[in-house]
Amino acid sequence: MEDNNTVPERAEKEYPKLPVIERKIVPAIREGIELVMMIVFRSLKEKNARDFPDRDAGYHSTLAAAVLNRMFGLDNPDASFRQFAKENAGQVRDRLDSFARDFPDLSILVTDALRMQFVCNEVEKVGDKDHDIKVMEQAVEAGIFRKERDAPLPKGFMNLVHRVGVANGLVRGGQG
């Protein structure tokens, strides 16, 4: 059965007002989101190095960061970074649009991280809800965000992030 709800409607249904105990785990969830971002950054940087062997490592990293920031709706205040993102806007958009094709194994992780980012922002009352919704909708349009996937509970998200972090050598093994 297909769910015709929009991303924000589903998020609000699946994450009603969280109890106080849930708010205490927000910092841990944010660390999980940052770990996902590290994995995405590294993957993008490695692909940039393969696709643009004539460019230096700084270009590979900066392009990866610009794509990551766009994907997660982040804004780098550094003027030189903003200029790079502006001058390379087409390349950033192309990388975002090809992400699901290039990294199909990361779509679930990014979907869950974007949902958790929305929830954390709602719980902490930070950011702009409309902006967060646009970020998720942009991910849907790029084919990254898996709307059909059930929203994760915090523990499920943290377990997934831990397993992927271990597999990528970013987290030590053991209990998550």
User: Taking 60 as the threshold, does the pLDDT of residue 21 lie above it?
Assistant: no
pLDDT tens digits along 86-129: 999 999 999 999 999 999 999 999 999 999 999 999 888 888 99
Residues 6+ apart with CB under 8 A from 27: none
Task: Provide the pLDDT confidence category of residue 176 given band limits of 50, 70 and 90.
Answer: very low
Provide the residue ranges of all domains of the chain, joining segments of one domain with +. 16-164
Task: Provide the pLDDT confidence category of residue 1 given band limits of 50, 70 and 90.
Answer: very low
Query: 19 vs 119, which has greater pLDDT?
Result: 119
pLDDT exceeding 90 applies to what percent of the chain?
Answer: 71
Quote the pLDDT of residue 171: 87
DSSP string, 107-168: HHHHHHHHHHHHHHHHHHT-S-HHHHHHHHHHHHHTT-S-TTSPPPPHHHHHHHHHHHHHHT
Quote the pLDDT of residue 110: 97
Query: 4 vs 28, which has greater pLDDT?
Result: 28
pLDDT tens digits along 137-165: 999 999 999 999 888 888 899 999 999 99
DSSP string, 3-68: ----HHHHHHHHS-SPPHHHHTTHHHHHHHHHHHHHHHHHHHHHHHHHH-TTS-HHHHHHHHHHHH
